DNA sequence: AGCACA
């Protein structure tokens, strides 16, 4: 399809959120669609409330585009388009033998919180012939990065039916509890979000909370 | 109908 690109251009993002937090949140939302090569949140006035998410595969960008159109982040629905030009990372990838003509960029000044490459998470579907009722309606999250906020988590988990609330634990930024109305709904969210990353280094481990 | 790339 014409117009489809590796990079999606997002507008109508909140201008009140620090761009590092915005970036983490976008990473958390979009990493499920495939390898993210870069996220650019520019700080110039003209570019406020806009971001570019660069996927390794066009297909990932297409799925993200469809799935998250209008999805609310920090109270505002994202407006997603395809970028009109390819990102530098993509150009580099397409013509590896060519040097960039002008825009040079030193590795030391690059953001280092987006991985060079990232394995796509494969989520196993629940059930099988012997599916049984999950043991709890509360999920236990572990291996969260320090900067995780309850807002980021609720953004992700409220996408699934029956969501009630997120509870962070004082002095334990790495864990959290997420409550659903019933165990089945908790199980759906668990399977959908298993291994999601808020930062490239931390794949979240989701299990049912112990009773 | 605001398109970057410290």
pLDDT digits (tens, 9 = 90+) for A59-107: 999 999 999 999 999 999 999 999 999 999 999 887 766 554 444 444 4
Matching residue, tokens 């251009």: A9
Cα–Cα distance measured from residue A89 to residue A76, given in angstroms and rounded to the nearest whole number:
28
Q: Which residue has the higher pLDDT, A181 or A111?
A: A181
Looking at residues A144-163, what average pLDDT do you find?
94
Across all strands, nucleotide nearest A54 (CA–C1'):
B5
Matching residue, tokens 């699934």: A160
Q: Which residue has the higher pLDDT, A197 or A114?
A: A197
Q: Against a cut of 0.85, is the pTM above it?
A: no
Query: Cβ within 7 Å of strand B: which of A 158-197?
Result: none
Across all strands, nucleotide nearest A49 (CA–C1'):
B2
Q: Supply the Cα-derived Rg of chain A in whole angstroms.
A: 18
Matching residue, tokens 């009722």: A133
Chain B: nucleotides under 7 Å from a protein CB? 2-6
Comparing A52-61, A76-85, A118-127, A137-146, the range with the smallest average pLDDT is A118-127
- Average confidence score pLDDT of chain A: 86
Q: Minimal CA–CA distance to A193: which of A25, A31, A3?
A: A31
């Amino acid at each position: 399809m014409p117009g489809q690109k590796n990079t999606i251009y997002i507008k109508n993002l909140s201008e009140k959120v620090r761009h590092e937090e915005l970036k983490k949140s976008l990473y958390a939302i979009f990493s499920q669609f495939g390898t993210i090569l870069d996220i650019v949140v520019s700080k110039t006035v003209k570019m406020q409330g806009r971001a570019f998410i660069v996927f390794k595969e066009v297909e990932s960008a297409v799925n993200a585009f469809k799935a998250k159109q209008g999805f609310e982040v920090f109270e505002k629905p994202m407006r997603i388009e395809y970028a009109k030009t390819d990102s530098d990372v993509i150009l580099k990838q397409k013509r590896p033998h060519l040097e960039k003509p002008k825009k040079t960029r030193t590795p030391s000044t690059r953001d280092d919180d987006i991985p060079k490459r990232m394995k796509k998470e494969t989520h196993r579907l629940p059930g099988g012939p012997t599916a049984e009722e999950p043991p709890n309606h509360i999920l236990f999250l572990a291996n969260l990065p320090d900067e995780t906020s309850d807002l980021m988590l609720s953004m992700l988990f409220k996408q699934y039916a029956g969501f009630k609330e997120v509870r962070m634990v004082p002095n334990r930024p790495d864990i959290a509890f997420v409550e659903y109305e019933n165990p089945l709904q908790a199980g759906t969210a668990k399977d959908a979000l298993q291994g999601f990353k808020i930062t490239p280094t931390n794949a979240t481990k989701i299990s049912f909370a112990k009773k």
